[in-house]
Chain A
Amino acid sequence: MSRSPNRTLIALAGLFLAVAPAAAERLNIGRAATPDEIRGWDIDVRPDGQGLPVGKGTAALGETIFQERCASCHGEFGEGAGRWPELAGGAGTIKSDSPVKTVGSYWPYVSTVFDFIHRAMPFGAAQTLTPDETYSVTAYLLYLNDILKDQDFEVNEKNLATIRLPNEKNFFMDDRETAEKEFWNAKPCMKDCLPKEAAITSRARALDVTPEKASEAAKPSAPVQ
Chain B
Amino acid sequence: MSEPKQRPDASRPTSRRSFLRSGLALGGAVGAGAFTGRAAAETPDAKNLPPNVPEWSQSLGDGVVSRPYGRPSKFEADVVRRDVEWLTASRQSSVSFTPLHRLEGIITPNGLGFERHHGGIAEIDPAEHRLMIHGLVEKPLVLTLEDVKRFPRVNRIAFLECAANSGMEWKGAQLNGCQFTHGMIHCVMYTGVPLKRLLEEAGLKTNAKWLLPEGADASAMTRSVPIEKALDDAIVAYAMNGEALYPEHGYPLRLVLPGWQGNMWVKWLRRIKVGDEPWHTREETSKYTALLPDGQARRFTWAMDAKSVITDPSPQAPLHRKGFTVLSGLAWSGRGAIRSVDVSLDGGRNWRAARLDGPVLDKALTRFYYEFDWNGDPLLLQSRAIDETGYVQPTKAALRQHRGLNSIYHNNGIQTWHVLPNGEIENVEVA
- Whether A associates with B in a native complex is yes
| CB of B27 to closest CB in A, whole Å | 10
Question: What B residues does A94 contact at CB under 8 A?
Answer: 291, 295
Contact B431 A33 (CB under 8 A): no
Contact A225 B132 (CB under 8 A): no
Contact A95 B295 (CB under 8 A): yes
Q: Is A13 an interface residue (CB 8 A)?
A: no
Interface centre among A24, A120, A170, A199 (most CB of B within 10 A): A120
Q: Is A68 an interface residue (CB 8 A)?
A: no
Contact A120 B219 (CB under 8 A): yes
Given contacts A99-B406, A173-B299, contact A214 B82 (CB under 8 A): yes
Contact B422 A220 (CB under 8 A): yes
Contact A188 B346 (CB under 8 A): no
Chain A: residues with Cβ within 8 Å of the partner, total of 91
Q: 8 Å CB contacts to A: which residues of B13-33?
A: 13-17, 19, 23, 30
Contact B134 A44 (CB under 8 A): no
Closest to A169 in B: B296
Distance of A216 Cα from B151 Cα, bound (Å)? 49
Contact A29 B273 (CB under 8 A): no
Selected contact of B431 from candidates A107, A111, A201, A205, CB within 8 Å: A201
Chain A 110-125: CB-based contact to B (< 8 A → 1; otherwise 0): 0110011001100110
Given contacts A30-B201, A123-B90, A209-B174, contact A214 B316 (CB under 8 A): yes
Question: What B residues does A203 contact at CB under 8 A?
Answer: 173, 418, 426-428
Distance of A172 Cα from B285 Cα, bound (Å)? 11
Q: Is B191 an interface residue (CB 8 A)?
A: no
Q: Is A10 an interface residue (CB 8 A)?
A: no
Given contacts A44-B279, A188-B342, contact A202 B172 (CB under 8 A): yes
Question: What A residues does B293 contact at CB under 8 A?
Answer: 95
Question: What B residues does A214 contact at CB under 8 A?
Answer: 82, 176-177, 179-180, 316
Closest to B142 in A: A33
Given contacts A108-B285, A185-B390, A218-B316, contact A191 B430 (CB under 8 A): no
Q: Is A198 an interface residue (CB 8 A)?
A: yes
| CB of B317 to closest CB in A, whole Å | 8
Given contacts A176-B305, A198-B430, A200-B428, contact A42 B273 (CB under 8 A): yes
Distance of A175 Cα from B301 Cα, bound (Å)? 8
Given contacts A123-B93, A193-B349, A211-B82, contact A170 B296 (CB under 8 A): yes
Of A59-67, A78-86, A132-140, A144-152, the one contacting chain B is: A78-86
Contact B347 A174 (CB under 8 A): no
| CB of B22 to closest CB in A, whole Å | 9
Contact B392 A188 (CB under 8 A): yes
Distance of A223 Cα from B416 Cα, bound (Å)? 26
Contact A175 B177 (CB under 8 A): no
Distance of A225 Cα from B93 Cα, bound (Å)? 45
Q: Is B249 an interface residue (CB 8 A)?
A: no
Contact A215 B176 (CB under 8 A): yes
Contact A112 B348 (CB under 8 A): no
Distance of A172 Cα from B176 Cα, bound (Å)? 35
Q: Is B141 an interface residue (CB 8 A)?
A: yes
Contact A29 B296 (CB under 8 A): no
Q: Is B242 an interface residue (CB 8 A)?
A: no
Question: What A residues does B273 contact at CB under 8 A?
Answer: 42, 44
Closest to A80 in B: B89
Of B34-42, B104-112, B354-362, the one contacting chain A is: B34-42
Selected contact of B430 from candidates A73, A108, A199, CB within 8 Å: A199
Given contacts A183-B392, A188-B386, A220-B423, contact A172 B177 (CB under 8 A): no
Selected contact of B282 from candidates A99, A116, A205, A217, CB within 8 Å: A116
Q: Is A47 an interface residue (CB 8 A)?
A: yes
Contact B201 A207 (CB under 8 A): no
Selected contact of B89 from candidates A82, A115, A189, CB within 8 Å: A82
Selected contact of B392 from candidates A31, A184, A204, A220, CB within 8 Å: A184
Question: What A residues does B389 contact at CB under 8 A?
Answer: 184
Q: Is B319 an interface residue (CB 8 A)?
A: yes
Q: Is B326 an interface residue (CB 8 A)?
A: no
Question: What B residues does A48 contact at CB under 8 A?
Answer: 277
Contact B176 A205 (CB under 8 A): yes
Q: Is A27 an interface residue (CB 8 A)?
A: yes
Q: Is B367 an interface residue (CB 8 A)?
A: no
Q: Is A19 an interface residue (CB 8 A)?
A: no
Q: Is B147 an interface residue (CB 8 A)?
A: yes
Question: What A residues does B390 contact at CB under 8 A?
Answer: 184-186
Selected contact of A44 from candidates B16, B38, B281, B285, CB within 8 Å: B281
Contact B134 A42 (CB under 8 A): yes
| CB of A10 to closest CB in B, whole Å | 25
Q: Is B394 an interface residue (CB 8 A)?
A: yes
Question: What A residues does B35 contact at CB under 8 A?
Answer: 220, 222, 224-225
Question: What A residues does B298 contact at CB under 8 A?
Answer: 171-176
| CB of A40 to closest CB in B, whole Å | 9
Question: What A residues does B352 contact at CB under 8 A?
Answer: 190
| CB of B113 to closest CB in A, whole Å | 18
Distance of A191 Cα from B349 Cα, bound (Å)? 6
> What are 11 residue pairs bridging A and B, where the CB atoms are less than 8 Å apart in the complex?
A33-B141, A42-B134, A107-B286, A171-B299, A180-B394, A180-B402, A201-B428, A202-B428, A209-B174, A210-B84, A219-B318
Query: What are the nearest 7 A-B pairs in CB distance?
Result: A198-B347, A222-B320, A24-B200, A83-B89, A225-B321, A204-B427, A33-B140
Given known contacts A83-B88, A120-B218, A208-B17, what 12 new A-B pairs fall within 8 Å (CB)? A31-B141, A46-B278, A106-B286, A120-B219, A124-B218, A127-B220, A171-B298, A190-B352, A201-B428, A210-B177, A218-B316, A218-B424
